[in-house]
Structure 1
Amino acid sequence: MSGIGSIRIRPPAAAAAALRHGNQHCNRRNVFERPWGRRERHRLRVVALDLFSQGLTGTISPAIGNLTFLRSLNLSFNTLQGEIPPTIGSLTRLRLIDLSTNMLTGVIPRNISRCTSLDTMYINSNKGIRGSIPDEIGNMPSLSYLVLFNNSITGTIPSSLGNLSRLIELSLSLNYLEGSIPSSIGNNPYLTFLQLSVNNISGLLPPSLYNLSSLNYFYTADNNLHGRLPFDLGKSFPSIQEIFIGGNRFSGALPQSITNLSKLQMLYVENNSFAGIVPSRLGRLQNLEVLILEDNMLEANNEEEWEHIASLTNCSRLQKLSIGWNKFAGKLPSSLANLSTNLQWLRTTSNNISGLIPSDIGNLGRLEYLDFRDNLLTGVIPESIGKLTLGKHLALDISINKLTGFIPKVIMELSSISSILDLSYNLLEGPLPAEVGNLVNIEELRLSGNKLSGAIPDAIGNCKVLEILFLDGLSLLNLTDNKLNGSIPGNLATITDLKELYLAHNNLSGTIPELLGNSTSLLHLDLSFNNLQGEVPKEGVFRNITGLSIVGNNALCGGIQQPHLPKCTKSTVGKKKKSMPKFLRIVIPITGAIMLLLSGLALAGFCYRKSKVGLKKDDEQPQLTEIELPMIPYNDILKGTDGFSEANVLGKGRYGTVYRGTLENHAVAIAVKVFNLQQSGSYKSFMAECEALRRVRHRCLVKIITCCSSINHQGQDFRALVFEFMANGSLDRWIHSNFDGQNGQGALSLSQRLDIAVDIMDALDYLHNSCQPPVIHCDLKPSNILLNQDMRARVGDFGIARVLDQSTSKNPMNSNSSIGIRGTIGYIAPEYGEGLAVSTYGDVYSLGVTLIEMFTGRSPTDDMFRDGMSLHYFAEASLPDKVMEIADSNMWLHDGLNTKNDTTHMTSIKECLSSVIQLGVLCSRQLPIEPLSVSDAATEMHAIRDLYITTQHSGSYASSAKI
């Protein structure tokens, strides 16, 4: 290298020394090596520093600027933190800098432009990098590769980048850039790779872009671009290979000249407003591998228009084709079965396609994903579908159509189906083929909402890796039931990975197999609304009341205490049981309800007397009254918490402290809420919690196990409630903890937040609408929402809950409150401060604030919310197009958003977030605007979550196509 010996640093110890001290210690033998045996005339100098993926931590020292002879600096794929030191500008000989995939923060130093010899700059995938792109970068004449994607860069794209006459690659995706694309970008004559996807860029595509004849890769997906594509697009990009413009607002027709792009391999135009029929002669695109037209307003209504799609049979390299979510109608052309033998992915989802499935569809033998769902297809499933045996991981979805007849046995012999077989919501009938046992590798089998009859074959137990089995009529779309009868096969428990089993709304009879309780993987079991009878098992999933549903089986008995089933008698546990007489089916529930009411009245009386005694000023202690909860001695609480050790404290509140502990002879962990009876209002809080908890039984509420009302060692009154331990603590801790230093470990993903939101709303819906009289929580906030081991939410802390009387519940806005403001600042409904009574609408307001906080990561009491600004208005101002700007960035740490050009994933995320924030805004409006009920909010939240899950399941295939 022009007389200067190339030096190699021995990582990582030697690297640390060089980063700390620069060239002044370059003669240390333990730091550098000479590449040649002869002695050098000049002092050795560092010219290349390559520490790719060496596990480096800490910060980049400013001393890096002392390595003035450095030509190549590669610190990528480490966990370096802190800012990029401005001394980097001293490295005037630098030709390559790669700081990608670290945890760097701050801005890109403006004086990096002093590195005038720089050819390659990679500073991507550092979410802490913010600020704008320095204009001075446009003054770097040698720069050929500028890669800054997957950061948090804001501002506009500098027009000075058009001065980079040698620029080959410009990659700015996955940032927060806004404004328009500068027309000067068209001045880069050698530009081959332009990546601007997933930003907030708006406006029209500048005409100068169409002068980039060297362009091979054009990515502007998931922005706010609009306008029409030029009719002569085929002349503009003669070398183009990949076009990704999905997730924008482009409109008009797809230009016919697209078919002149002879080198085109991938075309993604999904999620725009393109209309009309697709270009004819698509078959001229001989190099085409992927064509994604979904989610537009494209159409085909007759055989001639369908022929434009059918011409793709001439594209021998075609691997993926989607025309889903458009306006295609009429019959599928039979020629579709003659598409490329390399075709792996075919989707026509959510159109109005009618007629039969092409009888020769089996000719597409290498298909790995076939999705015809949500159309108007009729007739039977063709037998030729059994030829789809060459795909390695086949997924088959023909749900939500009008298919009739029996399920072909050949489908059940497709051992290549390893992810999902979904035939739900059709008109299929007859028995479930015994050949279902051949699906030994399948993960999800969905047959809900049909008219299947007969018994469930024992052979289904051969599906050893089955995770989810839907045979019910109450899945996400809530359509018709099946008519399966007979008993539940006991060998379902032998399916190794079975996690969810839904057999609801059928005609199943007999007893529940004891073996199901032995399954270690089964988490959710729904056997509701059948004709099951006999004793309910007590082990495994049957101990998990939140994952079990057995309602609507009136002849069941026994089981664990929680479902409150009648005790089994000899007649009810006999080997052959008769159905319970009809009059008993009526009497027993009424009797149980009366007994529950009497127990509740006893508990209410107990809590009432305790509160009265607690308010006395003398030393008289409250007397213990018998309640329905099992009582526990004070010494057991003391021992179980290690003497109320500070190490066991889970949290502290106004009225007491919560400890983690265990009970003697119990292996399960517990949470003990010990009330501070010296605090004014603590007896009242204890009473309120007792009054509320005696009424509620729901999977999304924290489960109370027992209580303690006794005297402590000092002879003082002692009150404690013992709850089921929530392994993952409060939601507040998960929302507001800083996970940057943990590589995102522990951050809540978007999917987890959606599930948690659904749980919270289900809990409130139950309290408001299924409890009579309704229970108002009065203090809903993230710190009072706990997460169990499966990261599902449980609403807790009923210390200031209110049970509404009938008049208040009917007219919640007609009476003034005499109890003062209830709740926590930031979450209290504004109308409470105006004297309105406690009502369900107050909880809905708190719900709205909590919902926005969950998805933005911002507390309603943040310093930024002042002078009239609130979390509500902050969220409302982001709708509908700026939700990504206010979203909690921790959500993306595990969602794979650094996957290049994952436009389908990003589109669904934007739509999902917009819907969630909109719902939070509607809930947190101030009265007297017409309030939203919690039942409506819960219905909407379920729909948002379910749509996102459906989109991600189908979108995972699209994502793999775009990498």
Structure 2
Amino acid sequence: MHERAVWIFLCDLGGQNMPFEGSIPVEIGNLVNLFSLGMESNFLYGSIPSSIGKLRNLYILNLSKNKLSGQIPPSIGDVTQLALLYLDGNNLGGNIPGSLAQCMGLFELNLSQNNLDGSIPVRLFADLLFAWSLDFSHNNLTGELPPVLGTYGIGSGLVSLHMEGNRFHGQIPERWHLLVSTRQINLSHNDLSGVVPKFFEQLDKLEQLDLSYNNLEGAVPASGIFTHSAAVVLDGNKGLCSNSPRLALPICPGISGSATKVKHHLSLLVTSLLIVLPPLTIGSLVLIWFMLTIWKKGSFPFSRWDLVSKMFPNRREVHTAPCHDEKKLKRVSYEDIVKATNWFSLVHTISSTCTGSVYVGRFKSDKSLVAIKVFKLNEPGGYDSYLIECEVLRSTRHRNIMRPVTLCSTLDSQNHEFKALIFEFMVNGSLEAWLHSEQHNGIPDKVLGFGQRICIAADVASALDYAHNELTPPLIHCDLKPNNVLLDDDMTARLSDFGSAKFLSPGLVIPKSLDDVGGTIGYVAPEYGMGCEISVAGDLYSFGVLLLELLTGKRPTDDMFVDGLSLCKFSESMFPDRVAEILDPHMAHEEHQGCTEAWMERYIVPLVALGLSCTMESTKDRPGMKDVCAKLSDIRASFLELS
């Protein structure tokens, strides 16, 4: 297992290879520590085995776009940790199992484009705590729409709801007025009746409403989302009318009588205000004069701050901690973290070092997975690591630098000091995991294409350029390596783990050993081993090693590098004539097929040359990160323009 968390991806099996074909084996239930199972876009057939319910630690299950048939096994409800479930694009039939309600943390559920029938279990909608995306579209579902959405009918976290292309009947439930966070609702192509509820006007975040091809009738509301004709689709409802020309519907009858009543009520309102307002205005002015007079005389029996406190009893004084802005960050409690990590379970552990451990979890008050870094304050360097990460949080803001979303600074259950930072969970893991697929227990994984590698290198260079040249004082990462480069859902690289970082201030102490610098063998600059001072050139060296690793697919600690041979010397010995021989074979036949020589000259040779220049022995011979960033940006732009 890689860092205690098991991941399996069988999506397309590497791009140009043949998709996986066959049935899901019953033995899959033996992988009890499985965290994520992705087998989408293959040719899987047969049924989903009931043994899937044994995967109690599963967070993500993606079986979409296959040829699976049969029913959804009720045992899937036993996977109570499940957060993301995608079964769309198959041939599944039967009812939706009510046992899914046991997955109370399920916040994305997609069962669309199947042959499911029957009604949706009311229990499913009533019990879901965090669901924010529900898609039941294009099935054969019947019955009335569920009267409640979310725990106790609150449903305030639901963002996207798709139920189009079924056979639902009845009216749109009034309790849906609680969908205050919803942005998309699609109920088209059903058999719904009744009126278009007025509460849709009050849903401020609603961006798209599709009620087309039903049997709705009556007047359509005129405000809110209904003022944006492009956001509302009402075609195919023959009984609807509207007094707004924007919706292109027949005019509702009785408009003149209604207008007369409105004018009459407005007239009464204006008359009432003219009678009531003058006395109120005079009284208010007298009260203000009186209060100002006694204020100046100091006649109040309490201070001015006491007066404000009494007038606004819920106001709280804000104390700003030295490492963060509480106005922007909401703290979480120790109990919240304990529950999110299942009491710091090994199954939830992503990585662990001498200064801290990182766990994956999810808070009950939120919908998203998070990475929780808990610092080992009793270990050497643990407290310093926390403080520098906080300082980085306070000082930086860049799209390619990981910043915490919140923190926890408190006492644990044993009354010991406890500190943790909470980050957004990076669904695509680390660059290390993508470059070295043997960490996935020998299961083939999607490899990085050449274009992706260029973009990742450019992202990291951009982060370092910002840290070195735009911050005052400059920030040195000191531990740049693939494990500390994380990839988000669109494969954008984020530089992480600043626990060893240093701000290059004038009073910085010159390190006496490599332990004082931090860093990892193979990536640390050679001058640090001779006691030289920390500088931006050290990060340049680490970046050069990382760039060569991206191109060759080899770690600097690979078994082949013995007797003085290193990744840098190996690459230099093949440069430039034999540089094709050092490339990672997984990407050697991708975008550049048919134009190998031109591709080598235009992209590979300049990239290897850039990596070698960054790893020069003398710090004076290394380029600056601004120049490196500019060259990589040019190479990326050139590649993307032609691809």
Higher relative contact order (CA 8 A, sep 6+): 2
**Bigger share in helix:** 2
Please say which structure displays the higher CA radius of gyration: 1
* TM-score with structure 2 setting the length: 0.48
* TM-score with structure 1 setting the length: 0.33
